[in-house]
Structures are given as structure tokens and as C-alpha cells.
Chain A
């Protein structure tokens, strides 16, 4: 059943691809109670809408989001809802958030939002919350417990220190390679909330957690990192099936820590190099990750895109359809006990990463 369905999605994905070079990542989440319980949702992230002046916005980033919205609307069967993984805006300006939301308003169906650091550090999330509501919440859908966390908080004394302006603080946080960067964290308040929230959930209920930053530690230099990741993971440990889906990293990452599967989203705006390409520092990319090919700068949508998710037997499968490269599917492998790239998981089976520059 599961395989048939995935084939169906992929076939449709392939048809979409043939129609135009689409960049779709499909996420499957299944929980094995029969076909009526299967469902899908789309997952769009990191649009970084940037205002130049007045009604002028950076064209490239606008195009990425417009394309993702148009493609998500073509999904058939319809996804139950859409998740937006954070960083609608580049500098958190109301104009940027509004312009992004206007484009996202074109999506058919309900959209759930995650707070990103680019949405937050101008006014500590005030405008975002005014438009979109709370930055951490949970809900149940067809037997799966969904949790949304704001994982991009940092030390209180840094957030509230005497800044010349909110924009000054935003620009410090907006620079990925800032040598004076601050680590992201979920924080005590939300961890207490999460603990209470999970108390009512049975241990065999599949849990899907959304955060902007990875709830694991990969590379601190670019904040591919959440400082209290282990404490959050400890709260998720008692549950049989847990998946964490995150944005922020603008690239495909895959990991399994104990019972928790981790999968990341591509950005609609631009791709990031893997931390290992920075010569001066060591990084800890999870070994399960099969690297994306290096993006072709001359094709501005290369290595950007979005994903849709199929939920089945409490597990999440992500299908990444790349416009200028071989499509990818990272699905949970019950035998292996972790997500694997369905084609390239074993070293010998991997296509050699595209090395040319």
C-alpha cells in the first residue's frame, strides 16, 4: 500500500517535472492504519523575501516563493495542509512579512507557520505573531501529534541588551557566518510547555516536530545548531516514532538519533554550501546525509525548492524533486531504523556528487 502510494506520488511528481522543470520535495508520513489514514502535506521554507525600497523586492527570492506556491497548488491528491518552515522575511520588516504572506495567500488550504530568526530579531517576533498567532503550539491530525517550536531564541541578555535599534540586532543575527553569532535555543519556557503538552500524548502516537533550526548539533559556526537540542531530544525520547522537520539550512540533511528521525527542507530562495566546504573549521554533518550536488549559480532556482510529505505508519518520507538534477527520495527504512535515500544510501550506490564548479 505504502509503496503503491509512493509510486503514485512520484509518478505525479514526474508528470509535474515533465510539465516544467519543477523543484518539489515530497514528504510522506504514514502510520499504518489503512489507506484512509494516510495523508500528505506540503512543506515550504526559507523564502527570505527582501524589500529593496518601497514596493521593490528582490526578484530572485520572490520568484522562488511564487514558484513553490504554484507547484504546491498542483499537488494531486490535495495535501491536508501546508507547513511553512520559517524565514518568510530577510530582515523581519512588516513590509517583507506582508509581501511574503500575500504570496503565500495563494496557497489552497490551511497553512501552519514556524518562526525563523529572520522573522524574529527585528521586533522579537511581534509583527509575525500579530499576523500569524502563537510561535509554539500543537495539534492532532489523523492520529499524529504535531508540535511547532520556536527554536531560534537565544540568551535573554543578548536579545534585550541595549541595541541602537531592532535592525541592528536583526543584522547581527541575519549574518550566517557572524563570528559574534549567538546560538539558537528553544529555552526553558517552551521546554516546560512541551513537557506538559506531551504528557497527554500516548507513547505510541507518532509525533512530528517542526522547528526552524535543526534540533541537533551540526555546525555552530553557521548556527546549524540548537544549544539545548539534547534537552529537547530527551523530552521526545519516550515516544516510539518521532520525526523532526526543520528549515534554516537551505539543503538536504538526514539523520537518526535514537528514536528521532531528522529531515531538513530546501529553501525557496537560495541554497547553502555544506559546512564541510569551509576549509578553516570542522563540522559534524550526519553520515546519513547524501549531499546535494553543488548548485549551478547560472540557474538561479537550482538546488532550491520545497517538499511534500506523505504520512504513513507514523513515519515521514521526503521526496525532493530537483529542477536540474536527479530527483531524490529520503524515506524511513523500517529494517534499517532510520531514513535512507532510497537510491543512493549505500556509499557504493551513490552517484558521485557533482564536483565541477
Chain B
């Protein structure tokens, strides 16, 4: 009884799918709405990073990232992870960001998964879009 009911439901669903599949589109293709929303989500985090980079970090000595890196220039995110000779080990971009936060900004470190750290990386990489990935490059 229950099995039959389920079977009928499945049949009905299958016939509906058949109708959809008459269009030459894959069932799991992303819709334009999806893409637009994801892009918007991404860009809103880039926007947050932009603000943090330009004085939004509540830096203890008022120094901000953009003072030395206008448009995030000379941050070269495409070369990370790499051996940072001054630190003596392989580091990811977020660790170099923390180095800057701790030294020129004289402020407190951010956790790797702090949304502000994610946003800073999003902004930096967005400004460097199109650069060839060269991990480890010196």
C-alpha cells in the first residue's frame, strides 16, 4: 500500500521531470539568479575587506593597510603560500596580513577564520585578479 503510493508519487515526479527535460538544459545547471546572488555575496565581502583595508580595522596606531598598499598593490597574493625568508617558514597570505597588523599597525592578530581576515583576503585577491598563480615564487 505504502509502496504503491510512493511509486505513484515517483511516477508523477518523473513525468514532471520529463517535461522540464524537453528543454536542452541540465537538471543541475545554476540559474542566473543563483550566479547573481553568489557574486553579490562575494562582492559584499570584498566590499567589507575594502573598508577594513582602508582604515576600518580599528588599528591601535591609526595606520591602515592602504597607506603602504594603495589598491592592495605589492601584496602579490598569487605568490602565497611560500617560504617567507624573514619568518623562516612557509606561510599563507593571511599570516603575512597578520604580520602587517602586528607590526606597522601595532594591533592585535586576527584568527585565520575571523570574518575580517576572510574579507581582507577577498579584497586583496580581487584587486589582483588576472595575475597568474605563482605559489612559492620569490
Interface residue ranges, A against B (CB under 8 Å): 48, 50, 52, 58-60, 175-177, 221-222, 270-273, 275, 277-281, 294, 296-298, 300, 355-357
Residues on A with beta carbons closer than 8 Å to the beta carbon of B24? none
Contact between chains at B86 and A300 (CB < 8 Å):
no
CA distance A58 to B63 in the complex (A): 8
Chain A interface, >50% SS class: loop
Q: How many A-B residue pairs have CB under 8 A?
A: 71
The listed residue with most B CB atoms (<10 A of its CB), out of A48, A222, A270, A279, is A279
Let me know if A270 and B62 touch, CB within 8 A.
Answer: no
Any A CB within 8 A of the CB of B37: no
Determine the chain A residues whose CB is within 8 A of the CB of B100 once the complex forms.
297
For the complex formed, measure the closest distance between the CB of A98 and the CB atoms of chain B, giving whole angstroms: 17
* CB-based contact A279/B70 at 8 Å: no
How far is the CB of A287 from the nearest CB of chain B, in Å? 20
**Docked-complex contact B70 and A177, CB < 8 angstroms:** yes
The minimal Cβ–Cβ distance linking B58 to chain A, given in whole angstroms, is: 12
Distance in Å: Cβ of B107 to nearest Cβ of chain A: 12
Are B62 and A279 touching (Cβ within 8 A)? no
Q: Chain B contacts of A272 at CB under 8 A?
A: 68, 70
Contact of A273 with B70 in the complex, beta carbons under 8 Å: yes
Given A279-B128, A279-B129, A356-B138, also A52-B61 (CB < 8 A): yes
Contact B73 A278 (CB under 8 A): yes
B40 touches A (CB below 8 Å): no
A176 contacts B138, CB within 8 Å?
no
Contact partner of A222 (CB less than 8 A), chosen from B70, B128, B131, is: B70
Kindly supply a per-residue 1/0 record for chain B positions 50-89, scoring 1 wherever the CB is within 8 Å of any chain A CB and 0 otherwise.
Answer: 0000100000111100111111011010010010011000
The contact of A50 among B54, B63, B66, B127, by CB within 8 Å, is B63
From residue B85, how far is it (CB to closest CB) to chain A in Å? 8
With A60-B104, A357-B138 as known contacts, state yes or no: A177 contacts B76, CB within 8 Å: no
Task: State A241–B79 Cα separation when bound (angstroms).
Answer: 46
In the assembled complex, the Cα of A273 lies from the Cα of B68 at a distance in Å of 8
Q: Are B66 and A175 in contact (CB under 8 A)?
A: yes
Question: What distance in Å separates the Cβ of A100 from its nearest Cβ neighbour in chain B?
Answer: 16
Identify which of B70, B74, B85, B130 gathers the most chain A CB atoms within 10 Å of its CB: B70
Cα(A222)–Cα(B61), bound, Å: 24
Q: Which of B54, B129, B137 contacts A175 (CB 8 A)?
A: B54
| Binary flags per residue of B90-109, CB closer than 8 Å to A gives 1, else 0 | 00000000011001101000
Residues of chain A within 8 A of B66, CB atoms compared: 175-177
Q: Is the CB of B129 within 8 A of A176?
A: no
Inter-chain CA distance A280–B85, complex, in Å, is 28
> Assuming A58-B61, A58-B62, is B138 touching A294 (CB within 8 A)?
no
B67: chain A residues at CB < 8 Å are: 48, 176, 270
Residue of B54, B67, B69 with most partner-chain A CB within 10 A = B67
With a cutoff of 8 Å between Cβ atoms, the chain B residues found around residue A278 in the complex are 70-71, 73, 127
Whole-angstrom distance between the Cβ of B13 and the nearest chain A Cβ: 48
